[in-house]
Amino acid sequence: MTNLPRERQPDSALEERIVSTLVAAGLVRRRRVWPFWAAAIAAVILIAIGGTVLRPKASPPPGNMYALLLYEDSAWTAAPAGHSDERLTEMRRWGDSLSRAGEFERAGRLIGPGPAGGLFIIRAADDAHAERIAASCPFHKWGGRVVLKRFEP
Amino acid sequence: MNDDLALVERFLRGRGEEAFRALYRAHTAALYALALRLTGGDRGEAEDLVQESWVRALTALQTFRAQSALRSWLCGVLINVRRGRMRADWRIVDTPDVEAVADATDGDDAIDLERAIAALPDGARDVYVLHDVHGYTHREIADLLGIVEGTSKSQLNRARYLLRSSLV
């Protein structure tokens, strides 16, 4: 026997490609959306709506719209059993702070292809401001990938 | 192996994405390593082979029985997928060539060996990779490749001879 490695990690994109192929072929069933997303997004939306009703909304900064794309890809670590509520609370606090500052616009979940995730539309004065908001998202702490994109509505 | 059986049973219960990903993460690195060597280091071809192998494997997974290790079974699927592709590809010609194997070496032992393996003729490379790298027996190789054990042994000798010639 030679000593050459018997395992090699392929490019991480291969996993998503193969999963998509198998789903399309009917050999694998796509997972249901992780309840974390549904709950976190619902919580942020609820806070934003409540904010507009219960208190005067801070006047939105005259700036740009940005998309924050949050991906649960290879580095993502799921919450230990019984601890998902703590993450939900952190996301809720984060959403609340955006809402209070008039920075929150919309939220949704990402539907394939690719890793599961969420989308937040935010408003920020400029790129540096948007980057500060992105960096404040607790999603980073759990190994999630956060991608920031400016767009024109 | 018990873990593998549990993963297979979990997958077959609902064919869920998470259950598949667990199987994928447990075995794809081995499948990819095998595919890379069998294709002479062609990453694109190796990825395609791995993808097609998972499609075939999931189609036939209910026929998998715990008598064999899941990894060996999956490697067998991959080898058969590749054999099917080679039959369909008239461009692949098995040409033993000592010089081609010798030209593939440049000094670093492990890299030299990988390159020299890549430059082996297909039949000899398949047997060498399965026997000397992945630890299959001649009987298992004969079953996987649809050849007799004697052919497996002679191909292994041929591969070793070509490698020795290139690496000295």
Chain-chain contact of A14 with B51 (C-beta, under 8 angstroms) = yes
- Chain A residues within 8 A of B134 when measuring between CB atoms: 6
**Distance between CA B60 and CA A7 in Å, rounded?**
24
CA distances in angstroms from B25 to A143, B29, B51, B52, B90, listed in the order given: 18, 7, 13, 16, 34
pLDDT at A60 over 60: no
CA B33/CA B30 separation, integer angstroms: 5
Return the closest-CA partner of residue A89 out of A35, A131, A44.
A44
> Residue B76: which pLDDT band, with cuts at 50, 70 and 90?
confident
Chain B residues in contact with A74 (beta carbon < 8 A): none
Report, as an integer, the average pLDDT of B144-154.
91
d(CA B130, CA A4): 12
Question: Closest chain B residue to A11 measured between Cα atoms?
Answer: B47
> Which segment of A1-15, A85-99, B25-39 scores lowest on mean pLDDT?
A85-99
Q: What is the pLDDT of residue A80?
A: 78
B72 touches chain A (CB under 8 A): no
List pLDDT tens digits, range B124-141: 998 999 999 888 899 988
CB pairs under 8 A between A and B: 80
B113 within 8 A of B167, measured Cβ to Cβ: yes
Query: Is the Cα dihedral B42, B44, B47, B48 positive or negative?
Result: negative
Please tell me the distance from the alpha carbon of residue A94 to that of residue A72, in angstroms, as a whole number: 18
pLDDT digits (tens, 9 = 90+) for B96-121: 445 555 555 555 666 678 888 888 88
Strands of the sheet with A64-71, listed across from one edge: A104-110, A117-124, A64-71, A145-151
Give the best residue of A4, A21, A23, A111 to mutate against chain B (max B CB count within 10 A). A4
Residues of B in contact with A28 (CB under 8 A): 15-17, 20, 58
Token readout for B125 is: 């490379």
- What whole-number percentage of chain B has pLDDT above 70? 82
Whole-number CA gyration radius for chain A: 18
Tell me which long-range contacts A136-141 makes (C-beta under 8 A, separation of at least 24): A136/A94, A136/A97, A137/A68, A137/A70, A137/A94, A138/A87, A138/A90, A138/A91, A138/A94, A139/A70, A139/A91
**What value does the mean pLDDT take over residues A115-132?**
88
User: What mean pLDDT is predicted for residues B56-82?
Assistant: 86
The amino acid occupying position A11 is D
pLDDT over threshold 50, residue A140 = yes
H or E segment and range at residue A59: none
Q: Before A113, cis peptide (omega within 30)? A: yes
- How many CB atoms are closer than 10 A to CB A85? 11
Q: Do B113 and A4 touch (CB under 8 A)?
A: yes
Q: In terms of pTM, does the model score above 0.90?
A: no
Question: Is pLDDT at A46 greater than 70 in this prediction?
Answer: no
Strand partners, A106: A121
The residue of chain A nearest to residue B27, with distances taken between CA atoms, is A7
- The torsion defined by the Cα of A55, A61, A64 and A70, in degrees rounded to 10, comes to -50
The ipTM of this complex is: 0.77
Residue with tokens 């998509």, as numbered in its chain:
A20
Taking CA–CA distances from A23, the nearest residue in chain B reads: B17
